[in-house]
Structure 1
Amino acid sequence: MTQARHGDTPQADRRRFFSQLLDGARSRTPQRAPWRRVPEVGAGDGDVLWSGWAGNGEVFVVGDEGMVLRYTGAPDTAGQQWERMRVPTNLPLHGLWGPSPDCLIAVGWMGTVLHFDGTEWHQQRGGIVDDEGRFAPCSENTPLFAIDGNAAGEAWAVGDDGMILHYDGSEWHREASPTRINLRAVACAPNGTVYAAGGEGTVLQRNREGRWLALDCPLSSGFQAMVLLGDDELLLGGGRYFVDQGGFRGELVRYRHGEFQALTFETPMPRLRALKAYKEGVLIVGDQGHLYYFKELRLDRLESNSHHDLMDIITLPTGEALAVGDFGTIMTAAPDFTAALAPPPAAAQPSPWTAMASPTANQLWGIHEAGEGTCYACGEAGTVLRLDADGWHALPAPSELAVHCLWDSGKGLFAAGQLGRIYRFDGSHWQVHFDLHLDLTILSLWGTGPDSIYAVGDEGLILHFDGLGWKRMPSGTQSALYSLHGWDDRHLLAVGDFGLVLRYNGKEWGEFNVGTENFLYGVWGPTLEDIYTVGLSGTLAHFNGQRWQLQPTRLRDDLLGVAGSPAAGAFAVGTRGRILRLEEGQWLTEPSGSDVGLRAICATQDGGVYAVGDRGTILRRDPQGHDA
């Protein structure tokens, strides 16, 4: 603990240290700021800290013996600022990455992969033991040493024997590696390229097609770390053992324009362990407490006041950083640690969506555009709305029952919902068109014309109207079907419980495996080779004409609807006002300006987009709505 001055309490002095540490605006120049240990770290002299992560006012640090330390700024009952978390392993943890503090991944010895969901750590991979309780000699137990990910929520981990693992947002898969040399570093470039590096000058590059290639590096450095200086420019650090010098000598190598260049400096360096972007340059840590600041080919040694090996660098939201290492070391040059964890407040992001006046406060379940361009919405207590030139207006209610879906056949508007009833609107009155006489809810309608309309709902219900009457079709399931979409009478999809997807070929319905057990609530696609389905806990999958692939969204919100049009593009909506927009193959979050649940979306022929949901909410995104 920092020594208290006369008249000050240790608690006040500690608060002063933390408050001063995080104020990045008053930090001194990188070359002059001395580094010092962060007080009250819950690690001892026998602990090695290997890596960490910081964001949203929190810090996580991982190390030997399955150690995970967490700093939230809120002291516990004993007044401690750092919490040692419970984890399902005592194996060393070498790397940590994640998009948010409730979605972190740690990797380590014996192939250990741990996931943190914001509440608990769960072991996902590695640590396999045989019948005698010893670690099994299998590839899954290959030690992992580094992990990095991209903005889409994908991650790559690397380790011994050229091991490369890819996390697609839901599962881990091993990728073919062109080397058996031990890998110690991995980095993801914004353009989709991924790099890995390791012993004997090994540098690998993963192209956008997912294939790993070995770059021709003429140097034999043992790379331990790297940092991206640009999409195709790297700075690599590590070292080699030299017998005549009786130890390791640190080395820096730059990769630019397809060529490797060894950087030489007058002052010899020990083995380098980590490199991170820092204050318009690069921060470098290494053995024996060595700290350097690199910028424009100039290398300055920083005052570390430590002789312990430093293993990694954790960048903080303000641009400050922590260095972690041997003997439970956590160090920083920031004058105020707590302030450096809290990013400056950001201005609210403008939303291209506007709330429309709604004639109802009832929950809205569906929205549909008729062939001639008129939009309709439906919901609880028989609510049916029509969009006219002067806004939304309520139509007469078909009944007091909830209406979940609508479809315009070209010869009348159909509405369906509770108790298996289907109504038809002739422009002035509703009439019962079909009554199933069962307590089953119809959840979705879709059709090709007035003589061919399909309906799906509870307990595997599928109905077809052939122009003469409604008939029930065998579905082969008792699971609920929430959404229906088609292209013609021989190509339809219905999605439902536990990842169920049914496909209709004009004769029968059969299962179409997506690869998830999450409930699926919406399905849409412009072509048979470009289909999306959305569901529980941010589930989003894409079919490219050959196979389904789950796409990472990093969302905890349920996605309840998806739709698109050539003029508007594609959108998905969900709970807590969540809206996603598809742009160049990536689903991007778009501010909705609302926090209510959105249950359905319609992208119109003229480019307008409407989303409806709880409390009668109707949002509009005009064709000229700016991009978020």
Structure 2
Amino acid sequence: MTQTRPAVTPQADRRRFFRQLLDGGKPNTPQRASWRRVPEVGAGDGDVLWSGLAVDGEVFVVGDEGMVLHFDGHTEGQAWTHMTSPTRLPLHGLWGPSRDNLIAVGWMGTVLHFDGSAWQSVRGGVVDEASGRFAPCLENTPLFAIDGNARGEAWAVGDDGVILHFDGACWQAEESPTQVNLRAVACAPNGQVYAAGGEGTVLRRDGDGRWTRLPCQLGSGFHALLAVGDDELLLGGGRYFVDQGGFRGELVRYRDGDFQALTFSTPLPRLRALKAYKDGTLIVGDQGHLYYLQDLRLDRLESNSLHDLMDIVPLPTGEALAVGDFGTIMTAAPDFTEALAPPPAAVRPTAWEAMASPTDRQLWGLWEAPDGSCYACGEAGTVLRLTNETWEILPAPSELAVHCVWDAGHGGLFAAGQLGRIYRFDGERWQLHFDLHLDLTILAMWGTGPDSIYAVGDEGLVLHFDGLGWRRMPSGTSSALYGLWGLDDQHLLAVGDFGLVLRYNGREWAEFKVGTESFLYGVWGQALDDIYAVGLSGALAHFNGQRWQIEPTRLRDDLLSIAGSPAAGISAVGTRGRALRLTEGQWLSEETGTEAGLRAVCATRGGATYAVGDRGTIMLRRPEA
């Protein structure tokens, strides 16, 4: 349902590109720091490390021969270890929203998944039984890069213009407008996806899933792509020149529909990776070259290495690792372990507390029934019920993920999720109540009673139950709908992709303009003139009965859910344990004590607020005295 990025790219102040204010005199500034190898990595001198990821206090690095290196910053006597891998093929890209949900891609179309305990092969590496060699098929097309969003979606790109899309459950090839080899992919803050490769190829994916080629007049071979803002890119790569006997690096900026080659007095080597770093951009390339770009000023960093650097791994403190050839892992951080998992600062008071959870599954939804019972739901058919401040596991409706639950109090508990299936619980067992017979996920439910329930989900799906049966309603959109709220059967709102809000008036659904292009994940209101919607990169909009107004939150984290009640107040939650609370007309950030993504929030009539999310996390905000 949600969109989670492993590294959130800061929005750039566009005017700063034309200011030359970089202070090179301070030894602690990024362009003055010295980079050095991280000790005791354990990779061989002949090993190429292609990509890495720091997540939840741990580092994962992938490379040749199916290598996966792991560093756990939580354990005593921390050391790099080699993880068991199901392949010997090179792994070129790594992405994941959490340490128990990682995806690696590589040669021969290899896709591996890590569930927190073991790596498993998902696709690629198909062998022809007759010859014993890799089969010449689309699935074996080499993959070189992967990136994803907070919803758990991911895109991988590779040779021959191949583009694969992961919707959270399965992989599927998307139609590509090019056959040029693609080497980079990035998800932008506004939900758009970009890909880049050889011959100046830059592609953009729109909200309907269509890829188009941007008119880049430059012939650069792009290896790196950084989404600086909603419609601003920085691209890096290089071209081979015979007269020079090697590659010449190139750095290109895309803004306002135009591509501009950035020129510098010093020739660049082929550039391999770009990442946001300390108010600027960190760049790595061949022959150990490291650069820091800020305000169009490029400074070369001291790397003390001649080995090709392939990727950059941002760390939680704003430091970074650079990985590359000959088993190279480098950092400028004075203490790599502290940069990965910094020592805890003074404990800040928090109104939130963690509750004991009977599951480590990802939790997607929350609901309070009329009798005060609270239910949570999530992966693999997980359904929880709160009884006397203790969460207990109910029987699973099926093995499919449950994204939402709803209970009218007299009609039984309903649960819905993957494959458009809706189940009903009679207190002892679940029964299939409705089957859409389509591979669409139901993401939210709401109703006025046992004989009037609404459900929304993928591809503009809207369902209504009238007490006798479920029927599909025309929504007028093919975009996903993530959140649903209503006041009565004549006033409902559903929110979705690119700021989409649908309004139901009792007869039909129609689009309701909000004024933002950000994906919206949650909606809640206490009256028709007091409604809130939340979404990507801290997006928060308020409807006052006449118009929507975007409210500043200054957040980079995605807000995934919002709820309120007269007794509990109004709260919104999101990625990295983010929680906001409306206090005297202002949205104030609250410490939750967790870094886990919070995907749903429920404000009860009794005054308690519950939030659930990644790895079975359940948080409680008790009623205020």
Common topology (TM > 0.5)? yes
- Aligned twin of 1:274: 273
Query: Which residue does 2:548 correspond to in 1?
Result: none
**Offset at residue 345 of structure 1 (A):** 4.4
Aligned partner of 2:247 in structure 1 is 248
Counterpart selection for 1:99 from 94, 97, 104: 97
Q: Aligned partners of 2:123 and 2:446: how far apart in 1?
A: 37
Question: TM-score when scaled to structure 1?
Answer: 0.60
**Relative to 1, partners in 2 of residues 1:511 and 1:127: Cα closer, same or farther, differing over 3 Å?**
farther
Structure-2 change in CA distance of 1:259 and 1:88 (3 Å): same
- Write the deviation string for residues 384-403 of structure 1: whole angstroms up to 9, x where unpaired: xxxxxxxxxx9xxxxxxxxx
Are positions 1:581 and 2:562 aligned together? yes
Q: Is the 8 A contact 2:73 2:341 kept in 1?
A: no
Post-superposition offset of 1:230: 2.4
**1:71-86 to 2 correspondence within 5 Å?**
71-73=71-73, 81-86=79-84
Deviations 1:451-471 (A, max 9, x none): xxxx96157789xxxxxxxxx
Write the distance in 1 (CA, Å) between the matches of 2:259 and 2:600.
53
Matched, 1:118 2:99: no
Residues 385-424 of structure 1: pairs in structure 2 closer than 5 A: none
**What amino acid is the match of 1:318?**
T
Give yes or no for contact 2:351–2:592 (8 Å, CA) kept in 1. Answer: no
In structure 2, what is the Cα distance between the partners aligned to 1:476 and 1:43? 53
| CA apart distance, 1:128 | 2.0
Q: 1:581 to 1:476 in 2, by over 3 A?
A: closer
* Equivalent AA in structure 2 for residue 66 of structure 1: G
Match of 1:457 in 2: 426
Instruction: Check 1:82–1:215 CA distance in 2 against 1; reply closer, same or farther (3 A cut).
Output: same
Q: What is the one-letter code of the residue matched to 1:91?
A: L
- Give the secondary-structure state (helix, strand or coil) at the position aligned to 2:287: helix
TM alignment of 1:36-51, pairs within 5 A: 36-51=36-51
Q: Does 1:87 align with 2:92?
A: no
> Residue 372 of structure 2 aligns with which residue?
377
Q: 2:127 maps to which residue? A: 129
Aligned residue runs from structure 1 range 323-334, under 5 A: 323-334=322-333
Aligned runs of 1:148-163 on 2, under 5 Å? Answer: 148-163=147-162
2: CA distance between counterparts of 1:484 and 1:199? 45
State the distance in 2 between where 1:139 and 1:329 align: 32
Write out per-residue CA displacement over residues 543-565 of structure 1, whole angstroms, 9 at most, x where no aligned residue: 9999xxxxxxxxxxxxxxx9986
What is the 5 A alignment of 1:496-507? Answer: none
Per-residue CA distance 1:192-234 (angstroms, 9 max, x = gap): 1221110000111122333222111110000000223322222
1:587 and 1:367 mapped to 2: Cα distance? Answer: 21
Larger Rg: 1
How many pairs were matched up? 450
Shift of 1:138: 2.0
**Percent of aligned pairs with the same amino acid:** 60
Displacement of 1:142 in angstroms is: 1.4
Deviation at 1:502, TM superposition (A): 11
Q: Describe the shift of the 1:621–1:91 C-alpha distance in structure 2 as closer, same or farther (beyond 3 A).
A: farther
Give secondary structure in 1 for the equivalent of 2:338: helix
- Secondary structure of residue in 2 paired with 1:288: helix
| Shift in alpha-carbon separation, 1:177–1:345, aligned structure 2, 3 A | farther
> What does residue range 184-223 of structure 1 map to in structure 2 within 5 Å?
184-223=183-222
Change (3 A) 1:213 1:337: same
Distance, in Å, in 2 between the alignment partners of 1:200 and 1:600 is 47
- Matched residue type, 2:562: R
Aligned CA distance change for structure 1 residues 461 and 184 (closer, same or farther; 3 Å): closer
Kindly indicate whether residue 287 of structure 2 is the aligned counterpart of residue 306 of structure 1. Answer: no
**Aligned pairs (5 A) from 1:138-153:** 138-153=137-152
- 1:337-396 deviations in Å (ceiling 9; x for gaps): 11111246476586599x9xxxxxxxxx9631xxxxxxx5369xxxxxxxxxxxxxx9xx
Residues 444 and 316 of structure 1: CA distance in aligned 2, closer, same or farther (over 3 Å):
closer
Find the counterpart in structure 2 of residue 55 from structure 1. Answer: 55
Amino acid at match of 2:39: P
Task: Describe the SS at the equivalent of 1:135.
Answer: coil
Instruction: Name the structure 2 match of 1:466.
Output: none
Listed as ranges, the gaps of 5+ residues in structure 2 are 1-25, 356-366, 375-387, 389-405, 415-423, 436-443, 457-461, 474-482, 496-501, 510-522, 534-559, 565-571, 580-589, 594-598, 612-619
CA-CA distance at 1:274 after TM superposition:
1.0
Question: How much has 1:569 moved relative to structure 2?
Answer: 6.5
Counterpart AA for 2:182: L
Give distance in 1, aligned partners of 2:140 and 2:623: 52
1:71-96 per-position Cα deviation (integer Å, ceiling 9, x unaligned): 114679xx771010012211111011
When residues 489 and 258 of structure 1 are mapped into structure 2, their CA distance, relative to the original with a 3 A threshold, is same
Q: For 2:258 and 2:140, how far apart are their aligned partners in 1?
A: 35
Change (3 A) 1:56 1:493: closer
Residue matched to 1:322: 321
1:47 match: secondary structure: coil
Q: For the residues of structure 2 that align with 1:340 and 1:351, how far apart are their CA atoms?
A: 28
Q: What residue is the counterpart of 1:233 in the other structure?
A: 232
Question: Distance in 2 between the 1:406 and 1:341 partners?
Answer: 43
Q: Is 2:352–2:622's contact at 8 Å kept on the other side of the alignment?
A: no
The 2-side partners of 1:210 and 1:144 are apart by 20
C-alpha displacement of 1:490: 7.1
Contact 2:159 2:182 in 1 (8 A): yes
Match for residue 367 of structure 1? 369
Q: What is the CA-CA distance between 1:182 and the residue it aligns to? A: 0.8
Deviation, 1:530, is 6.7
Distance (whole Å) between structure 2 residues aligned to residue 75 and residue 506 of structure 1: 55
Q: Deviations over 1:144-172 (max 9, x none)?
A: 11111223332221111111122223332
Secondary structure of the structure 2 residue equivalent to 1:181: coil
Give the corresponding residue for 1:296.
Answer: 295
Task: Tell me if structure 2 keeps the 8 A contact 1:95–1:146.
Answer: yes
Q: CA 1:283/1:86 → structure 2, altered by over 3 Å: closer, same or farther?
A: same
Shift in Å, 1:111: 1.4
- Given that 1:33 and 1:302 are in contact with CA atoms closer than 8 Å, whether structure 2 keeps it comes out as yes
Amino acid of the structure 1 residue aligned with 2:55: G
Q: CA deviation at 1:296?
A: 1.8
1:479-526 deviations in whole A, cap 9, x for unaligned?
Answer: xxxx9975688755799xxxxx998566557999xxxxxxxxx99877
Measure the CA separation in 2 of the matches of 1:612 and 1:291.
46
Other structure's SS at 1:213 match: strand
The structure-2 alpha-carbon separation of the partners of 1:340 and 1:457, relative to structure 1 and needing over 3 Å to count, comes to same
Task: Report SS of the residue matched to 2:265.
Answer: coil
Change (3 A) 1:344 1:200: farther
1:117–1:378: structure 2 CA closer, same or farther, 3 Å change rule?
closer
The 3-state SS of whatever aligns with 1:244 is coil
Deviation at 1:307, TM superposition (A): 1.4
TM-score by length of 2: 0.60
Q: Do 1:75 and 1:82's aligned partners in 2 also have CA atoms closer than 8 Å?
A: no
- Tell me by how many angstroms 1:263 deviates: 1.5
Q: Is the 8 A contact 1:224 1:273 kept in 2?
A: yes
Displacement of 1:27: 7.7
Identify if the C-alpha distance between structure 1 residues 108 and 543 changes in structure 2 by more than 3 Å, giving closer, same or farther: farther
Answer whether contact 1:166 1:172 (CA < 8 A) is retained. Answer: yes
Alpha-carbon separation, structure 2, partners of 1:152 and 1:72:
26
Contact 1:565 1:603 in 2 (8 A): no
For 1:152 and 1:599, the matched residues in 2 are separated by: 13
Superposed, 1:432-471 pairs within 5 Å as 443-444=412-413, 457=426
Deviation at 1:46, TM superposition (A): 1.4
1:65 aligned counterpart, secondary structure: helix
Structure 2 distance, partners of 1:600, 1:232, is 31
Give, as a single letter, the amino acid of the residue that structure 2 aligns with 1:100: S
In structure 1, the residue matched to 2:401 is none
Q: Matches of 1:523 and 1:90 in 2, distance apart?
A: 46
Offset of 1:319 from its aligned partner?
Answer: 1.6
Alpha-carbon separation, structure 2, partners of 1:366 and 1:169: 27
CA offsets 1:589-628 (integer angstroms, 9 cap, x no match): 6759999xx9996777xxx976689xxx996699xxxxxx
1:340–1:485 distance in 2 versus 1, CA, 3 Å: closer
